[in-house]
């Protein structure tokens, strides 16, 4: 009788139209029986098993569902004790999983790792991972920084999350055009009973000119604003008003789409019962960073 090996880790990957980059990511994941790889595809032309360089479970999502819906489908299908989220255009460092398996017996809900970043075109170092690495290092230096680690580490990547914990709190990604992962990351950090941080750069986040993070059209800007308002409301509801972030940047950027867009964005802010100038001390910093 063949003994079924328990799944320690389910790697969940949303994918759309980048099979070459996806295979780079897949090649950074070892072929082990206790690792389950789930690719949730919503490409124009459906991904086939023959397109992949290694075995993986391929599921499908509709074209309009976005990465958030793809990740939710992956959560529902996952069998692993731990979930590990990755973007199809990123990849894991060498020996990443050797390091991960040092922590799979942890009783924590979330285990945070450092993150590296490169520009995919030039190969030069980029800054996408700097914030997350700094949060890990600050916490390891001083445990009083734990809340910052939990609430500012707003990427779903470079962390292990207990699947039992996700199911207990019914955590889901927002199914929106942009910033689908922010509320999931912040709310999971808030609800986690215990967390751990590891000084090891597990994951490489790539920077590409045509990636979703660079998208700056009206639809993407609106999506990010609505997520920001949702996050701020969450902080306010849970007695953490000091963690609310500025929305003035979004009001400013909406002007480039005309006065109607500005007043529509202002309406969203006021409807959410939020001060348009919340976090105003940092809004210029946000403007400079995103310009």
- What are the DSSP E strand ranges found in 142-282? 159-162, 195-207
Looking at the fold, whether 177 and 223 belong to one and the same domain comes out as: no
Looking at the fold, whether 97 and 236 belong to one and the same domain comes out as: no
More confident residue, 281 or 164: 164
Looking at the fold, whether 134 and 118 belong to one and the same domain comes out as: yes
Calculate the average pLDDT of the chain: 92
Average pLDDT score over residue span 241-263: 93
pLDDT of the residue at 29: 98
- Whether residue 286 has pLDDT greater than 60: no
Is 2 part of any domain? no
Each residue's pLDDT tens digit, 201-247? 999 999 977 666 667 899 999 999 999 999 999 999 999 999 998 89
pLDDT of the residue at 89: 96
Average pLDDT score over residue span 91-119: 97
Looking at the fold, whether 147 and 244 belong to one and the same domain comes out as: no
Looking at the fold, whether 202 and 236 belong to one and the same domain comes out as: no
Looking at the fold, whether 151 and 286 belong to one and the same domain comes out as: no
Q: Give the C-alpha separation, 198 to 202, whole Å.
A: 9
pLDDT of the residue at 278: 73
The answer to whether 129 touches 117, Cβ cutoff 8 Å, is yes
pLDDT of the residue at 215: 77
pLDDT of the residue at 24: 98
Is 139 part of any domain? yes
pLDDT of the residue at 279: 62
Identify the CATH number of the domain in which residue 23 sits.
3.90.550.10
Is 177 part of any domain? yes
Q: Give the C-alpha separation, 58 to 183, whole Å.
A: 26
Looking at the fold, whether 183 and 233 belong to one and the same domain comes out as: no
More confident residue, 29 or 44: 29
Is 4 part of any domain? no
pLDDT of the residue at 213: 65
Percent helix, strand and coil across the chain, each rounded to 5? 45, 20, 40
Each residue's pLDDT tens digit, 107-133? 999 999 999 999 998 999 999 999 999
pLDDT of the residue at 63: 78
pLDDT of the residue at 259: 95
Instruction: Select from 214, 249, 280 the last residue of a domain.
Output: 214
For residue 190, the SS3 value is helix
- What are the DSSP E strand ranges found in 16-130? 35-41, 57-60, 82-85, 91-92, 110-119
More confident residue, 46 or 173: 173
Looking at the fold, whether 14 and 141 belong to one and the same domain comes out as: yes
pLDDT of the residue at 155: 96
Looking at the fold, whether 248 and 282 belong to one and the same domain comes out as: yes
Name the residue among 52, 17, 50 with its Cα closest to residue 38.
52
Domain total for the chain? 2
pLDDT of the residue at 216: 80
pLDDT of the residue at 282: 58
pLDDT of the residue at 65: 82
Confidence at 2, pLDDT banded by 50, 70, 90: low
Looking at the fold, whether 261 and 278 belong to one and the same domain comes out as: yes
Instruction: Select from 214, 239, 259 the last residue of a domain.
Output: 214
Instruction: Select from 173, 196, 214 the last residue of a domain.
Output: 214
**Domain region containing 62:** 9-214
pLDDT of the residue at 208: 79
Looking at the fold, whether 225 and 199 belong to one and the same domain comes out as: no
Is 17 part of any domain? yes
Looking at the fold, whether 53 and 148 belong to one and the same domain comes out as: yes
Is 1 part of any domain? no
Is 271 part of any domain? yes
Q: Is 17 left (phi over 0), alpha (psi -120 to 50) or beta?
A: left
Is 189 part of any domain? yes
């Amino acid at each position: 009788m063949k003994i079924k090996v328990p799944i320690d880790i389910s790697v969940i990957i949303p994918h759309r139209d980048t099979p070459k980059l996806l295979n780079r990511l897949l090649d950074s994941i070892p072929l082990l029986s206790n690792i389950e790889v789930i690719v949730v595809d919503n490409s124009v032309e459906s991904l086939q098993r023959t397109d992949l360089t290694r075995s993986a479970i391929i599921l499908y999502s509709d074209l309009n569902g976005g990465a958030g819906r793809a990740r939710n489908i992956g959560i529902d299908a996952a069998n692993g004790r731990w979930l590990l989220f990755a973007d199809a255009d990123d990849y894991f460092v060498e020996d990443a999983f050797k390091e991960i398996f040092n922590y799979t017996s942890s009783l924590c809900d979330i285990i945070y790792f450092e993150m590296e970043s490169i520009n995919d075109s030039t190969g030069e170092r980029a800054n996408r991972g700097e914030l997350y690495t700094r949060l890990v290092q600050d916490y390891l230096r001083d445990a009083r920084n734990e809340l910052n680690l939990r609430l500012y580490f707003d990427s779903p990547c470079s962390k292990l999350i207990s699947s039992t914990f996700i199911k207990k709190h019914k955590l889901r990604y927002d199914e929106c055009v942009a910033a689908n992962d922010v509320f999931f990351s912040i709310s999971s950090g808030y609800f986690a009973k215990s967390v751990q941080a590891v000084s090891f750069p597990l994951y490489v986040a790539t920077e590409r000119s045509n990636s979703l993070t660079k998208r700056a059209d009206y639809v993407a800007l609106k999506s990010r604003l609505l997520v920001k308002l949702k996050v701020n409301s969450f902080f306010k509801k849970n007695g953490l008003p000091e963690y609310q972030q500025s929305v003035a940047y979004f009001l400013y950027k909406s002007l480039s789409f005309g006065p109607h867009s500005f007043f529509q964005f202002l309406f969203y802010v006021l409807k959410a019962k939020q001060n348009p100038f919340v976090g105003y001390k940092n809004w210029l910093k946000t403007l400079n960073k995103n310009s």
